[in-house]
Structure 1
Amino acid sequence: MSISFEGRVAIVTGAGGGLGRAYALDLARRGAKVVVNDLGGARDGSGASLSAAQAVVDEITAFGGEAMANGASVTDMAAVEKMVANVKERWGRIDILINNAGILRDKTFVKMTLDDFRTVMDVHLMGSVNCTKAVWELMREQAYGRILMTTSSTGLYGNFGQANYGAAKLALVGLMKTLALEGAKHNVHVNTIAPLAATRMTEDLMPPAMLEKMGPETVVPASVYLVSEEAPTNVILNAGGGGIERAYVTLTRGIHLSAEEMTAETVAARFAEISDRTGELVPDNGSAQAQTALAGAR
């Protein structure tokens, strides 16, 4: 099976370098028209320049692809809407959105300012919300859309010194899960990638020997599949260094208590049983979880 994006139009945020650049190049080589969006700021979000985005566009046009540079901040809804309007005017449609833009402001929670927390949330979470909202109705109308959120092992499993980043990244999983349900009947699929790659964002977070094996190209196959016509929906893939795994939000079988048993002491006494992962479930939605809880009501 050969995956092609001929006739498709893709927006990739944070595409001036690292993962976003790798996504943009691969999509363009496979025939997509690509919007290379990048504010061109520093790793902490300061500054702005269109040069990084334009450099990627130049790479794409050099091998015969078609692309346009855009310097909108994903936190600026008016700028995002203008970007979407410009793309629609030029190419008539938008088929793919990869929400990749991000910044880091790592500190332990005790040292982290609320501004550091809000800014990271604004870029990762609200930036993805803004871009998704701007293309959502168009994708519904054309009965086709593929949207990719970017989570992280920090969001899924935690990491010291990244409370703001982890909170934003797990929030994107929740966003994906609801949008996958709402977009299903309109053929709008929404998935999430948890990349582990050597980029400007991670250059001082991993040892050099590991970084050598974790180039952005090792994440591209999973991400490109998740925005292809054949893509599933409501999927989280971890990818990097040649490894690709699927992550799930699971539910143990738990216990069911009678009215007389409903005390904190019962929970303490039976906590191991509650935590037993034998036969654990993956609910399709929140209602399914509630039905599981009620099914054993006593």
Structure 2
Amino acid sequence: MTLEFSGRVAIVTGAGGGLGRAHALALAARGAKVLVNDLGGTTAGDGGSPTAAQAVVDQIVAAGGQALANGASVTDPAAVAAMVQQAIDAWGRVDILVNNAGILRDKSFAKMPLEDFRAVIDVHLMGAVHCCQAVWPHMVAQKYGRIVMTTSSSGLFGNFGQANYGAAKMALVGLMQTLSIEGAKSDIRVNCLAPTAATRMTEGLLPPPVLAVLTPEAVVPALLVLASQDAPNRTIACAGAGTFEAAHITLTTGLHLGSGPDTPEQLAAAWAQVSDRSGSQVPASGAAQGQNEVTQAMAARR
């Protein structure tokens, strides 16, 4: 089966370089019409220039594809709405949204100014919210949509100096969990991609032999699967150096102890059993936690 995107319209944010550029080029090469969005600022989110997005568009057009450039900041809801309208006016629909735009303002938490925390949340989380809100009614109307959030191992598992970035990236997983449930009836599938790649945001952090295998292009196959017609729904796909994994938020079976005066001490003594991962599940929704708790409580009363 060939993953094919003819007739599909994709918006890729932060697509002027790195991962976003690789995503945009790959979607276009497989037939998608691509709106290439990039503010053209620094990795810290300062400044802006349309040249990066236009260069990617020129490359797509030179290869025989269709593409448009857009320089909107994803932090500006009005500009994002206009960006989506630009795609609708040109091509009549939006099938795929890749929320890839991001900035870095790394510092240890003790030294991090509040404005650096807010700025990173604003771009990664609220930027994705603005884009999702703008495409959502169009995807509902056409009963089709594929949305990919760019999460990170820094959010899933933590990373020193990235409290702001990690918080934003894990928040995108929470956004995905609910949008995937709400969009299912309209065939809007929402997934997360946690990439490991050598880009402008990671250069200087890793030795050259490692950087050589961590190309943005090595992540692209995962993006194409998540953006495809047969995409999964509510998945956290991880990709780097041509290796692909899936991450899961699981719930252990747990242990019913009741709520008596000695329960805190009982819980402390039984913590290893409570956190034992054998028999853990991947809940279908947040209701699974309460259902598990109440089921065990009712069984204990019999």
Using the size of structure 1 for normalisation, the TM-score is 0.98
> Percent identity at matched positions?
62
Q: Secondary structure at the match of 2:213?
A: coil
Partners in 2 of 1:291 and 1:262 — Cα distance? Answer: 24
- The answer as to whether partners of 2:257 and 2:267 remain within 8 angstroms in 1 is no
Q: Secondary structure at the match of 1:135?
A: helix
State the AA in 1 paired with 2:204.
D
Mapping for residues 252-271 of structure 1, pairs under 5 Å: 252-260=252-260, 263-271=263-271
State the AA in 2 paired with 1:107.
K
Partner of 2:181: 181
Partner of 1:217: 217
Partner of 1:274: 274
Partner of 1:168: 168
Partners in 1 of 2:197 and 2:185 — Cα distance? Answer: 34
State the AA in 1 paired with 2:86.
N
Compared CA separation, residues 262 and 151, structure 1 to 2 (3 A): farther
Partner of 1:284: 284
RMSD: 0.9
State the AA in 2 paired with 1:64.
G
Compared CA separation, residues 262 and 12, structure 1 to 2 (3 A): farther
Partners in 1 of 2:134 and 2:239 — Cα distance? Answer: 27
Q: Deviations over 1:258-290 (max 9, x none)?
A: 343762211111111111111111110001221
Q: Secondary structure at the match of 1:258?
A: coil
1:66 aligned to 2:66? yes
How far apart are residue 146 of structure 1 and its match?
0.3
Partners in 2 of 1:294 and 1:202 — Cα distance? Answer: 46
- The answer as to whether partners of 2:36 and 2:56 remain within 8 angstroms in 1 is yes
Tell me the matched-pair count: 298
Q: Secondary structure at the match of 1:161?
A: coil
Q: Deviations over 1:175-222 (max 9, x none)?
A: 000000000000000000000001001112322221111000110000
Partners in 1 of 2:169 and 2:33 — Cα distance? Answer: 28
- The answer as to whether partners of 2:95 and 2:146 remain within 8 angstroms in 1 is yes
Partner of 1:39: 39
State the AA in 1 paired with 2:64.
G
Partner of 1:152: 152
Mapping for residues 239-258 of structure 1, pairs under 5 Å: 239-258=239-258
Per mean C-alpha deviation after superposition, the further-off stretch among 199-208 and 241-250 is 199-208
1:193 aligned to 2:155? no
Q: Deviations over 1:79-116 (max 9, x none)?
A: 00011111111110000000000000000000000000
State the AA in 2 paired with 1:124.
H
Compared CA separation, residues 262 and 239, structure 1 to 2 (3 A): farther
State the AA in 2 paired with 1:158.
G
State the AA in 1 paired with 2:251.
L
How far apart are residue 256 of structure 1 and its match?
0.5
Partner of 1:10: 10
Per mean C-alpha deviation after superposition, the further-off stretch among 236-245 and 257-266 is 257-266
Partners in 2 of 1:258 and 1:156 — Cα distance? Answer: 31
Q: Secondary structure at the match of 2:139?
A: helix
Partners in 2 of 1:287 and 1:212 — Cα distance? Answer: 44
Partners in 1 of 2:194 and 2:73 — Cα distance? Answer: 22
- The answer as to whether partners of 2:252 and 2:281 remain within 8 angstroms in 1 is yes
Partner of 2:130: 130
Partners in 2 of 1:228 and 1:60 — Cα distance? Answer: 19
Partners in 1 of 2:139 and 2:286 — Cα distance? Answer: 25
Using the size of structure 2 for normalisation, the TM-score is 0.97
Compared CA separation, residues 262 and 32, structure 1 to 2 (3 A): farther
Partners in 2 of 1:204 and 1:116 — Cα distance? Answer: 21
Partners in 2 of 1:174 and 1:57 — Cα distance? Answer: 32
Q: Deviations over 1:230-269 (max 9, x none)?
A: 1010000110001100100001111001343762211111
Partner of 1:97: 97
